[in-house]
C-alpha cells in the first residue's frame, strides 16, 4: 500500500536520538530549549513552547488566551476534530463558518456573518498546508477586536506573501505527528510574539508550575516552586526534541519535494475529466501536507474502494466536525448552513504525498486513477 503520508527518518535522526538516550536528560533537559530556539529561528518568531502533541498545543494556545466560559470562537468545520475540541476543553463554544471550495479554507465572509457579541476569537486552519486568507481574516479580527489562533498543524514551513507561518496570529500551533511536515513521533508546538501568551502556554503545559525541572537542579538552585494555574503534563521529551532539531534541518528539502510531487500530479491529471486538481493562490508558498482533489460526476466512495483495493492508500480529509455523533448530541448545527463544506466533503479525496515518494509511485497512483474510467 502506498500510504497517503509518511515520515522520512535518516541515519542522522537516529544518531541524535541515540545521543539523548546515552545522556542524563531524557526529558526537561537541554534539547527542549535547543529545539525551541531552533524552531523560533526557523519561523522567525520570538517565543515557542514545544509539547507532546499538536492537540496539547491547541489546548494550551486556547487556554493561554483565558476567555470567559461559554465565549464563542469561530472556526472551520473542515478540519481534524482537535481544532474545535480544543475549544470544548476550555469551556468555549465552537461556531462554524463555511469554507471556500478552491482552498478548502475558512471563508472570511462567512466569519463576518457568524460574529455575535460573545465572539472572542477566530481559530483558522491552513488546510493541506495552503495558508488561509490571512489578510481578510485579520481585517475582520481588527474590526471586531477578536484574537486569532492559527492551527498551522499542516503548514509549518509554508509562507504568506514572503513571511513564514507563525508570525500572523496571536498564537500559532504546529503538529509533529509522523504524517506532518516534520515529526517527533508525537509532538507539537505553540509559537507567538507575545511574551505573556508564551509564559501562560508554558505554565499550562507543565502543571501551572512556575519553575521547570532544570531550573530547580544544581548547586545554586532551591527546591521551592509555585503552582499558579491549573495546567497539565503536556511536556515533550528530550528524545523527541533531538529528533525535531534534526528533522527541522531537512524541512525545506521535504517541502521542495512535496512541491515537485504536487506539480507532477497537477500535470499528469490535467486532462482527467473526472478530477479537479488543487490550486495555489498568488503569494503563497504551499506546504503540501496533503494533496486533495475534487471528483466530478463519479461516486467518491466507489472510487475510494477501487483505489484502496489497488494498493493506493487514499483517504478523506475531512468528515465535517458537525457530522460526529458527539457534536450532534451536544450541539444543533445544521448541514444546510455549510453548503460548500458539504459539497467538498462529498467529492474530496486525498492522494498520497510524502517527501520519500518516488516519481514512479506518482505514476502508479495516476495510472490507477485513470483506470477507473474504464471500469
Ligand atoms: C488541522 C489539525 N489540527 C490539529 C491536529 C492534531 O495534531 P496532533 O495529532 O499532533 O495532536 C491535527 C492532526 O492531525 C490536524 O490535522
217-268 confidence digits (pLDDT tens): 889 899 999 999 999 999 999 999 999 999 999 999 999 999 999 999 999 9
Ligand 1 atom with minimal separation from the 317 CA:
16
Looking at the structure, tell me whether residues 108 and 149 fall in a common domain. Answer: yes
In a domain, 304, yes or no: yes
Nearest residue to 287 (alpha-carbon basis) of 150, 95, 190: 150
Instruction: Say yes or no: CB of residue 53 within 6 Å of ligand 1.
Output: yes
Identify the three-state secondary structure at position 88.
Answer: helix
Q: Residues 6 or more apart from 272 whose CB is under 8 A from it?
A: 369, 370, 373
CA of 54 to the centre of ligand 1 (A): 5
Report the C-alpha gap between 38 and 42 in whole angstroms: 6
Mean pLDDT of the region 201-221: 91
Identify the H or E element spanning 202. Answer: helix 195-204
Q: What is the DSSP string of 29-68?
A: SHHHHHHHHHHHHHHT-SEEEEES-HHHHHHHHHHHH-PP
Same domain, 198 and 256: no
Give the CATH number of the domain where residue 334 resides. Answer: 3.90.1150.10
Whether residue 158 is found in the same domain as residue 294: no
CATH of the domain at 206: 3.40.640.10
Are 237 and 348 in the same domain?
A: no
**54 Cβ closer than 6 Å to some ligand 1 atom:** yes
Judged against a pLDDT cut of 90, whether residue 81 lies above it is answered with: yes
Same domain, 186 and 228: yes
Cell readout for 316 is 478523506
Structural domain contains residue 169? yes
pLDDT number for residue 285: 98
Among 216, 233, 248, give the residue marking a domain's end.
248
Residues 83 and 153 both lie in one domain: yes
* Residues 34 and 124 occupy one common structural domain: yes
Give domain status of residue 1, yes or no: no
Q: Among 133, 185, 167, which Cα is nearest to 42's?
A: 167
Other residues' Cβ atoms within 10 Å of the Cβ of residue 279: 12
Q: Is 80 in the pocket of ligand 1 (CB under 6 A)?
A: yes
Among 248, 280, 301, residue at a domain's last position: 248
Residue 374 confidence (pLDDT)? 82
- What's this model's pTM, rounded to 2 decimal places? 0.98
C-alpha distances in angstroms, 254 versus 111, 156, 188, 300, 313? 33, 11, 18, 29, 20
83 lines ligand 1 (CB under 6 A): yes
The answer, yes or no, to whether any atom of ligand 1 lies below 6 A from the CB of 79, is yes
**Domain end position, chosen among 248, 264, 279:** 248
Q: Is 177 in the pocket of ligand 1 (CB under 6 A)?
A: yes
* Residues 74 and 209 occupy one common structural domain: yes
Q: Are residues 201 and 83 in the same domain?
A: yes
Identify the domain containing residue 265 by its residue range. Answer: 251-374
pLDDT for the residue 213: 83
Does a structural domain hold residue 292? Answer: yes
The predicted pLDDT at position 212 comes to 86
- Average pLDDT for 266-289: 98
Is residue 58 classed exposed, middle or buried when 0-12, 13-18 and 19+ CB atoms within 10 A define those classes?
A: buried
Q: Is residue 2 part of a domain?
A: no
Our count of domains for the chain comes to: 2
What's the pLDDT at 217? 85
Percent of the chain with pLDDT over 90: 97
Q: Are 164 and 20 in contact, with CB atoms under 8 Å apart?
A: no
In a domain, 68, yes or no: yes
| Mean pLDDT of the chain, nearest integer | 97
237 forms bridges with which residues in the sheet? 27
Q: Could you tell me if residue 5 is inside a domain?
A: no
On whether both 260 and 240 belong to a single domain, the answer is no
Residue of minimum CA distance from atom 8 in ligand 1: 54
Which of 6-20, 147-161, 163-177, 210-224 bottoms out in mean pLDDT, i.e. has the lowest?
210-224
Residue 163 has pLDDT above 90, yes or no: yes
DSSP letter string over 253-312? HHHHHHHHHHHHHHHHTTT-TTEE-----TTEE---SSEEEEE-SS-HHHHHHHHHHTTB
Domain membership flag for residue 6: no
Residue 286 sits at the vertex; the CA angle it makes with 284 and 289, to the nearest 5 degrees, is: 155
Query: Which of 6, 56, 62, 80 for a ligand 1 pocket mutation test, highest count of atoms within 8 Å of Cβ?
Result: 80
Task: Give the pLDDT confidence score for residue 147 in this predicted structure.
Answer: 99
Confidence check: pLDDT of 375 > 80: no
pLDDT range class, residue 216, cuts 50, 70, 90: confident
> Ligand 1, from 51, 56, 82: best to mutate by most atoms within 8 Å of Cβ?
82
* Ligand 1 proximity of 55 Cβ (cutoff 6 Å): yes
What phi and psi values does residue 11 have, to the nearest 5 degrees? -60, -40
Q: Are residues 236 and 334 in the same domain?
A: no
Helix (H, G, I), strand (E, B) or coil at 175: strand
User: For ligand 1, what atom is nearest to the CA of residue 56?
Assistant: 11
Statement to judge: residues 200 and 216 lie in one domain: yes
Amino acid at each position: 500500500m502506498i500510504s497517503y503520508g509518511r515520515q522520512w527518518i535518516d541515519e542522522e535522526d537516529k544518531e541524535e536520538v541515540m545521543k539523548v538516550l546515552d545522556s542524563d536528560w531524557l526529558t526537561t533537559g537541554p534539547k527542549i530549549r535547543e529545539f525551541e530556539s531552533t524552531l523560533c529561528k526557523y519561523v522567525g518568531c520570538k517565543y515557542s513552547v514545544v509539547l507532546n502533541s499538536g492537540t496539547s498545543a491547541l489546548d494550551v494556545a486556547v487556554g493561554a488566551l483565558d476567555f470567559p466560559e461559554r465565549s464563542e470562537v469561530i472556526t472551520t468545520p473542515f478540519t481534524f476534530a482537535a481544532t474545535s475540541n480544543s475549544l470544548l476543553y476550555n469551556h468555549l463554544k465552537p461556531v462554524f463558518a463555511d469554507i471556500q471550495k478552491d482552498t478548502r479554507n475558512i471563508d472570511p465572509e462567512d466569519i463576518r456573518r457568524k460574529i455575535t457579541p460573545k465572539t472572542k476569537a477566530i481559530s483558522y486552519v491552513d488546510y493541506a498546508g495552503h495558508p488561509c486568507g490571512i489578510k481578510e481574516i485579520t481585517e475582520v479580527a481588527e474590526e471586531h477586536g477578536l484574537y486569532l489562533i492559527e492551527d498551522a498543524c499542516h503548514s509549518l514551513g509554508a509562507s504568506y506573501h514572503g513571511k513564514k507561518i507563525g508570525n500572523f496570529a496571536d498564537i500559532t500551533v504546529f503538529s509533529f505527528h509522523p504524517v506532518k511536515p516534520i515529526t517527533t513521533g508525537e509532538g507539537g508546538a505553540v509559537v507567538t510574539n507575545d511574551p505573556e501568551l508564551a509564559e501562560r502556554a508554558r505554565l499550562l503545559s507543565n502543571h501551572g508550575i512556575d519553575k521547570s525541572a532544570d531550573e530547580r537542579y544544581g548547586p545554586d538552585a532551591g527546591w521551592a516552586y509555585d503552582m499558579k494555574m491549573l495546567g497539565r503534563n503536556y511536556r515533550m521529551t528530550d528524545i523527541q526534541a533531538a529528533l525535531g532539531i534534526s528533522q527541522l534541518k531537512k524541512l525545506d528539502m521535504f517541502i521542495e519535494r512535496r512541491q515537485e510531487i504536487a506539480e507532477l500530479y497537477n500535470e499528469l491529471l490535467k486532462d482527467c475529466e473526472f478530477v479537479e486538481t488543487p490550486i495555489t493562490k498568488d503569494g503563497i508558498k504551499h506546504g503540501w501536507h496533503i494533496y486533495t482533489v475534487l471528483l466530478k460526476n463519479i461516486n467518491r466512495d466507489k472510487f475510494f474502494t477501487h483505489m484502496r483495493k489497488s494498493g493506493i492508500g487514499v483517504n478523506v480529509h475531512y468528515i465535517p466536525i458537525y457530522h460526529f455523533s458527539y457534536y450532534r448530541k451536544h450541539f444543533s448545527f445544521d448541514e444546510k448552513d455549510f453548503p460548500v463544506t458539504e459539497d467538498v466533503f462529498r467529492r474530496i479525496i486525498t492522494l498520497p504525498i510524502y517527501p520519500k515518494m518516488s516519481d514512479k509511485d506518482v505514476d502508479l497512483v495516476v495510472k490507477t486513477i485513470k483506470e477507473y474510467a474504464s471500469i
